[in-house]
Chain A
Amino acid sequence: MNNSATEMLVAACIEFLQAYPPFDRMEAEALRFLAEHVRLAHYPKGAQILSSEMGVAPVLYILQRGKVRVRASGGAGNVEFSAITLGPGQAFAIGALMAQRPTSSAYVAREDVFCYELPADDFFALTQQSTVFSLFCSQYIAGLLKQSQQQLQLQFAQRAAEQKTMNSPLAVIVKREPVSVPAEASIRQVVELMADRHLGSMVIVDAGEQPVGIFTLSDVLKRIVLPGRSLDQPISSVMSTSPQTLPLAANAHDAALAMAMHGIRHVLAVDEGGRLKGVVSERDLFKLQGAGLRQIRHAIDAATSLDVLQHAREDVRQLSLTMLTEGGGAQEITQFISTLNDTVTRRIIELNLDRHDLYGIDWAWLSFGSEGRDEQTFTTDQDNGIVFICTDIMDRELTQLRFLEFARDVNADLDTCGFPLCKGNIMASNPALCLTLEEWEERFAHWVRTPEPQALLNATIFFDFRPLYGRFNLAHRMRLSLLRQTRGNPLFLRMLAQNALSVSPPLGRIRDFVTGADPEHPGTIDLKKYGVRLFTDAARVFALAHQIEATNTVSRLKRASALMNFSSDDLAASLEGFNFIQLLRLRHQHFEQEHGRPGDNLIRPDELNEIERRILKEAFRQARKLQARLKLDYQL
Chain B
Amino acid sequence: MTWFSRLFAGQSAPGVALTTRQQQCIAAWQQLPAPDLRRSHYRCRYVVVDVETSGINVRTDRLYTIGAVGLVDGQIDFRDTLQLILASAAPTSEAATAAGDAVPAPVAGPQAVEALIAFLQFVGKAPLVAYNVPFVAAMVERVLAEGLGIEFALPWIDLEWVMPDLFRDIDSTQGRLDAWLTHFEIDSIHRHNAVSDAYATAQLLQVTIARGARKGFETPASLLELEKARRHLHQSS
- Whether A114 contacts B203 in the complex (CB less than 8 A), given A4-B102, A11-B99, A40-B76, comes out as yes
User: Which B residues, 98 to 113, have Cβ-Cβ distances below 8 Å to chain A?
Assistant: 99-104
A8 and B75 form a contact (CB under 8 A): no
* Interface membership of B184, Cβ < 8 A: yes
- Whether A44 contacts B211 in the complex (CB less than 8 A), given A9-B195, A39-B77, comes out as yes
* Interface membership of A284, Cβ < 8 A: no
Which A residues touch B81, using CB under 8 A?
3, 5-6, 9
| Interface residues as binary, B198-219 with A (CB distance below 8 Å gives 1, 0 otherwise) | 0100010011001100100000
* Interface membership of A621, Cβ < 8 A: no
| Interface residues as binary, A1-44 with B (CB distance below 8 Å gives 1, 0 otherwise) | 11111111111110000000000000000000001101111111
Q: Which of B79, B96, B104, B203 contacts A36 (CB 8 A)?
A: B79
* Interface membership of B116, Cβ < 8 A: no
How far does the Cβ of B213 sit from chain A's closest Cβ, in whole Å?
Answer: 9
B210 and A4 form a contact (CB under 8 A): no
How far does the Cβ of A37 sit from chain B's closest Cβ, in whole Å?
Answer: 8
Which B residues touch A41, using CB under 8 A?
74-76, 206
Can you name the residue of chain B whose Cβ is closest to the Cβ of A59? B75
How far does the Cβ of A398 sit from chain B's closest Cβ, in whole Å?
Answer: 89
How far does the Cβ of B80 sit from chain A's closest Cβ, in whole Å?
Answer: 8
B75 and A40 form a contact (CB under 8 A): yes
A5 to B118, CA, bound (A): 13
Can you name the residue of chain A whose Cβ is closest to the Cβ of B118? A1
A11 to B99, CA, bound (A): 9
| Interface residues as binary, A104-142 with B (CB distance below 8 Å gives 1, 0 otherwise) | 000000001010010000000000000000000000000
* Interface membership of A390, Cβ < 8 A: no
B206 and A8 form a contact (CB under 8 A): no
User: Which B residues, 58 to 86, have Cβ-Cβ distances below 8 Å to chain A?
Assistant: 67-69, 74-79, 81-83, 85
* Interface membership of A65, Cβ < 8 A: yes
Classify chain B's interface size.
35 or more
A3 to B102, CA, bound (A): 10
How far does the Cβ of A94 sit from chain B's closest Cβ, in whole Å?
Answer: 20
A93 to B45, CA, bound (A): 27
Which A residues touch B199, using CB under 8 A?
9
B67 and A5 form a contact (CB under 8 A): yes
A5 and B68 form a contact (CB under 8 A): yes
A5 and B211 form a contact (CB under 8 A): no
How far does the Cβ of A219 sit from chain B's closest Cβ, in whole Å?
Answer: 70
Q: Which of B74, B82, B101, B184 contacts A112 (CB 8 A)?
A: B184
Which B residues touch A39, using CB under 8 A?
75-78
* Interface membership of B189, Cβ < 8 A: yes
Which A residues touch B186, using CB under 8 A?
65
A398 to B46, CA, bound (A): 98
B83 and A3 form a contact (CB under 8 A): yes
| Interface residues as binary, A63-96 with B (CB distance below 8 Å gives 1, 0 otherwise) | 0010000000000000000000000000000000
**Chain A contact residues, majority secondary structure:** mixed
* Interface membership of B196, Cβ < 8 A: yes
Which B residues touch A44, using CB under 8 A?
207, 210-211, 214
Which A residues touch B77, using CB under 8 A?
39
* Interface membership of A47, Cβ < 8 A: yes
A3 to B115, CA, bound (A): 12
How far does the Cβ of A173 sit from chain B's closest Cβ, in whole Å?
Answer: 52
A55 to B148, CA, bound (A): 49
A114 to B85, CA, bound (A): 29
A7 and B101 form a contact (CB under 8 A): yes
Can you name the residue of chain A whose Cβ is closest to the Cβ of B210? A44
Can you name the residue of chain A whose Cβ is closest to the Cβ of B195? A5
A36 to B195, CA, bound (A): 16
How far does the Cβ of B182 sit from chain A's closest Cβ, in whole Å?
Answer: 13
B203 and A40 form a contact (CB under 8 A): yes
A6 to B81, CA, bound (A): 6
How far does the Cβ of A85 sit from chain B's closest Cβ, in whole Å?
Answer: 17
A4 and B83 form a contact (CB under 8 A): yes
Can you name the residue of chain A whose Cβ is closest to the Cβ of B204? A42
How far does the Cβ of A54 sit from chain B's closest Cβ, in whole Å?
Answer: 15
Which A residues touch B75, using CB under 8 A?
39-41, 117
Can you name the residue of chain B whose Cβ is closest to the Cβ of A42? B206
Q: Which of A6, A8, A38 contacts B189 (CB 8 A)?
A: A8
Which B residues touch A47, using CB under 8 A?
210
Which A residues touch B100, using CB under 8 A?
11
A7 to B196, CA, bound (A): 11
- Whether A8 contacts B207 in the complex (CB less than 8 A), given A3-B82, A35-B78, comes out as no
How far does the Cβ of A18 sit from chain B's closest Cβ, in whole Å?
Answer: 14
Q: Which of A5, A11, A35 contacts B83 (CB 8 A)?
A: A5
A8 and B101 form a contact (CB under 8 A): yes
How far does the Cβ of B207 sit from chain A's closest Cβ, in whole Å?
Answer: 6
A38 to B75, CA, bound (A): 10
Can you name the residue of chain B whose Cβ is closest to the Cβ of A41? B75
A352 to B101, CA, bound (A): 91
Which A residues touch B99, using CB under 8 A?
8, 11
B78 and A36 form a contact (CB under 8 A): yes
How far does the Cβ of B202 sit from chain A's closest Cβ, in whole Å?
Answer: 8
Which B residues touch A38, using CB under 8 A?
78
Which B residues touch A4, using CB under 8 A?
83, 85, 96, 101-104, 195
Can you name the residue of chain B whose Cβ is closest to the Cβ of A4? B83
A112 to B102, CA, bound (A): 34
How far does the Cβ of B194 sit from chain A's closest Cβ, in whole Å?
Answer: 9
A3 to B101, CA, bound (A): 11
Which A residues touch B211, using CB under 8 A?
44
B78 and A10 form a contact (CB under 8 A): yes
User: Which A residues, 374 to 397, have Cβ-Cβ distances below 8 Å to chain B?
Assistant: none
Which B residues touch A11, using CB under 8 A?
99-101
A7 to B199, CA, bound (A): 13
Which B residues touch A7, using CB under 8 A?
101-102
Which A residues touch B76, using CB under 8 A?
39-41
Which B residues touch A117, using CB under 8 A?
75
Can you name the residue of chain B whose Cβ is closest to the Cβ of A39? B75
| Interface residues as binary, B12-30 with A (CB distance below 8 Å gives 1, 0 otherwise) | 0000000000000000000
Which A residues touch B184, using CB under 8 A?
112
User: Which residue, of A1, A5, A9, has the highest number of chain B Cβ atoms within 10 A?
Assistant: A5
A8 and B74 form a contact (CB under 8 A): no
Which B residues touch A6, using CB under 8 A?
78-79, 81
A390 to B75, CA, bound (A): 86
- Whether A8 contacts B83 in the complex (CB less than 8 A), given A13-B78, A40-B75, comes out as yes
A3 to B189, CA, bound (A): 17
Can you name the residue of chain A whose Cβ is closest to the Cβ of B211? A44
Which B residues touch A9, using CB under 8 A?
69, 78, 81, 189, 195, 199
**A-to-B contact residues, CB < 8 Å:** 1-13, 35-36, 38-44, 47, 65, 112, 114, 117
Closest 10 CB pairs of A and B: A42-B206, A5-B83, A5-B81, A44-B210, A40-B76, A39-B75, A9-B78, A5-B195, A12-B189, A4-B83
- Would you give 8 A-B contacts (Cβ < 8 Å), ordered by A? A3-B82, A4-B83, A5-B69, A6-B78, A35-B78, A40-B75, A40-B206, A41-B206
Known: A4-B103, A39-B77. 17 other contacts (CB 8 A): A3-B83, A4-B85, A5-B67, A5-B68, A8-B189, A8-B193, A8-B196, A9-B78, A11-B100, A13-B78, A40-B203, A41-B74, A42-B206, A43-B210, A47-B210, A65-B185, A112-B207
**B-to-A contact residues, CB < 8 Å:** 67-69, 74-79, 81-83, 85, 96, 99-104, 118, 184-186, 189, 193, 195-196, 199, 203, 206-207, 210-211, 214
